[in-house]
């Protein structure tokens, strides 16, 4: 999708159309640009740019807050349209998808014709522009769709993949970022064509496994890394996390612990939504000077409970935080998922089951009354530990639910 977030915002506020628009937050806030309109891009504004910098480059731009729910909604509509063209659709992100068009000619005609139909249907039904790349590999199709932007279609015919890629900068290969680009430049490789004439062995010797994958990519193949799989629905997520950057750096213990509790609750809730149990969790901690550490804990039996995350996240913080330094960001991550708890802990005594029921009720309340309807006391204050540890079952049921403060 072209300038997806901006385009969706324009649907909700047509007065934004044709103007310099920056999605991501207020111009004096901490944060980066999520998306910029083509008008704003003329001034050098692009995604990932700090908002304050964007403001300096383009002070007359309209800065709007992002609306993830809107993007998810429109992403779903896009998916429904794509599904009419192939049963094999993979959403690579909220605004990007791959279709396997093999064997669809009888139904939709030649692929280029199908692409035109899709392009028009997308516009008619969502009022959004997209760009389409057609090729024999995911890699080339993606690069082709980048080349086709804005609002275009590009078909790279079978057999001309290398010729299409050769004149492009190596940076255009997905997976080649700032660092890899610099490494390649240092050995005189600037274009994909330069890469293509190198021996596989040379690249492997210099860049290891990645070098080998790169050699294939230079030929237009889906070798190694992200592309090396069939197009199809994504399976379970590999990790679930939430993090928060403070508006102002802090070393206030209460604020830190309340934030961790809140992040833990959000993560745990999503684990339950996905019916997943996490075996490991990580605390992420970023100091004011941007140095970042992560510290892990592995559970003896995997969990999806708020309290388990809160308890260990807090322990990891206390064990690893240097209290002389102020903190910029905290994050809670979970991974190594399993579909059940495995062996039930003999010492559990029904604790897990009671919590599961309580949290299920809390989730239902959040569904009805919004995210802030229910929270553990720890999300608001720093004093929960004693009561929870002494009598875990008592808390959610017997404590009256208090309205949760918004923000931090």
Partner DNA sequence: TCTGGGGTCCTAGGACCC
Residues in a beta bridge with 98: 90
- 270 touching DNA, by CB under 7 A: yes
Q: Which of 115, 192, 240, 307 binds DNA (CB under 7 A)?
A: 240
Q: Which of 206, 237, 326, 363 binds DNA (CB under 7 A)?
A: 237
Stretch that binds DNA, among 179-187, 343-351, 355-363, 382-390 (CB under 7 A): 179-187
Q: Least CB distance from residue 387 to DNA, whole Å? A: 28
Alpha-carbon gap, residue 50 to 56, rounded angstroms = 10
- 248 touching DNA, by CB under 7 A: no
96 is catalytic: yes
| Residues 3/38, Cβ–Cβ less than 8 Å | yes
The CB-side HSE value for 395 (13 A sphere, CA atoms) comes to 22
Nearer to DNA (CB atom), residue 94 or residue 112: 94
Stretch that binds DNA, among 31-39, 347-355, 368-376, 385-393 (CB under 7 A): 31-39
Q: Least CB distance from residue 109 to DNA, whole Å? A: 29
Q: Which of 109, 110, 177, 403 binds DNA (CB under 7 A)?
A: 177
Q: Which of 29, 96, 243, 338 is catalytic?
A: 96
As given in the structure block, the two tokens for residue 113 are 């014709």
Q: Quick count: other Cβ atoms within 10 Å of Cβ 71? A: 20
Alpha-carbon gap, residue 375 to 368, rounded angstroms = 14
Q: Least CB distance from residue 244 to DNA, whole Å? A: 5
| Residues 285/329, Cβ–Cβ less than 8 Å | yes
- 59 touching DNA, by CB under 7 A: no
Alpha-carbon gap, residue 384 to 395, rounded angstroms = 9
Q: Residues 289-328 vs DNA: string with x where CB under 7 A?
A: xx-xxxxxxx-----------------------------x
Place of tokens 């310099």: 20
Q: 170 to each of 134, 221, 227, how far by Cα in Å?
A: 20, 15, 17
- Give the β-pairing of 62-64 and 89-93: unpaired
Coil, helix or strand for 354?
helix
Q: Which of 7, 34, 303, 304 binds DNA (CB under 7 A)?
A: 34
Residues at the interface with DNA (CB under 7 A): 30-32, 34, 47-48, 50, 52-53, 92-96, 142, 173-181, 208-210, 224-226, 237-245, 266, 270, 279-280, 282, 289-290, 292-298, 328-329, 331, 335-336
């Amino acid at each position: 999708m072209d300038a997806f977030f901006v385009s969706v915002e324009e649907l909700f506020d047509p007065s934004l159309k044709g103007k310099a628009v920056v999605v991501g937050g207020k111009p004096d806030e901490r944060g980066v640009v999520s998306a910029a309109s083509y008008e704003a891009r003329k001034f050098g504004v692009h995604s990932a740019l700090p908002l304050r910098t964007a403001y300096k480059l383009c002070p007359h731009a309209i800065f709007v807050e992002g609306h993830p729910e809107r993007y998810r909604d429109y992403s779903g509509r896009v998916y429904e349209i794509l599904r009419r063209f192939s049963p094999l659709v993979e959403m690579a992100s909220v605004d990007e998808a791959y279709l396997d068009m093999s064997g669809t000619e009888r139904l939709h005609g030649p692929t280029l014709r199908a692409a035109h139909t899709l392009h028009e249907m997308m516009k008619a039904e969502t009022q959004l522009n997209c760009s389409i790349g057609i090729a024999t590999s995911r890699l080339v199709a993606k690069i082709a769709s980048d080349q086709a932007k804005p609002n275009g279609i590009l078909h790279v015919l079978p057999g001309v993949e290398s010729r299409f890629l050769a004149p492009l900068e190596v940076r255009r290969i997905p997976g080649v970022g700032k660092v890899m680009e610099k490494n390649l430049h240092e050995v005189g490789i600037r274009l994909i064509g330069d890469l293509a004439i190198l021996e596989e062995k040379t690249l492997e010797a210099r860049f290891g496994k990645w070098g080998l994958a790169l050699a294939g990519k230079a030929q237009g193949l889906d070798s190694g890394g992200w592309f090396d799989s069939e197009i199809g629905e994504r399976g379970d997520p590999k990790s679930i996390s939430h993090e928060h950057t403070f508006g102002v750096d802090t070393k206030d213990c209460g604020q830190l612990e309340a934030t961790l509790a809140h992040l833990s609750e959000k993560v745990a809730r999503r684990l339950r939504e996905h019916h997943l149990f996490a075996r490991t969790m990580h605390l992420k901690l970023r100091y004011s000077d941007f140095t970042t550490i992560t510290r892990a804990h592995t559970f003896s039996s995997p969990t999806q409970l708020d309290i388990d995350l809160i308890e260990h996240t807090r322990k990891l913080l206390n064990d690893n935080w240097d209290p002389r330094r102020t903190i910029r960001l905290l994050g809670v991550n979970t991974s190594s998922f399993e579909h059940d708890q495995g062996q039930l802990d003999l010492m559990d005594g029904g604790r897990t089951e009671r919590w599961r029921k309580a949290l299920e009720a809390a989730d239902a309340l959040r569904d009805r009354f919004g995210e802030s309807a229910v929270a553990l006391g720890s999300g608001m204050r720093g004093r929960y530990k004693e009561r929870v540890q002494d009598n875990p079952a008592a808390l959610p049921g017997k404590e009256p639910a208090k309205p949760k403060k918004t923000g931090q």
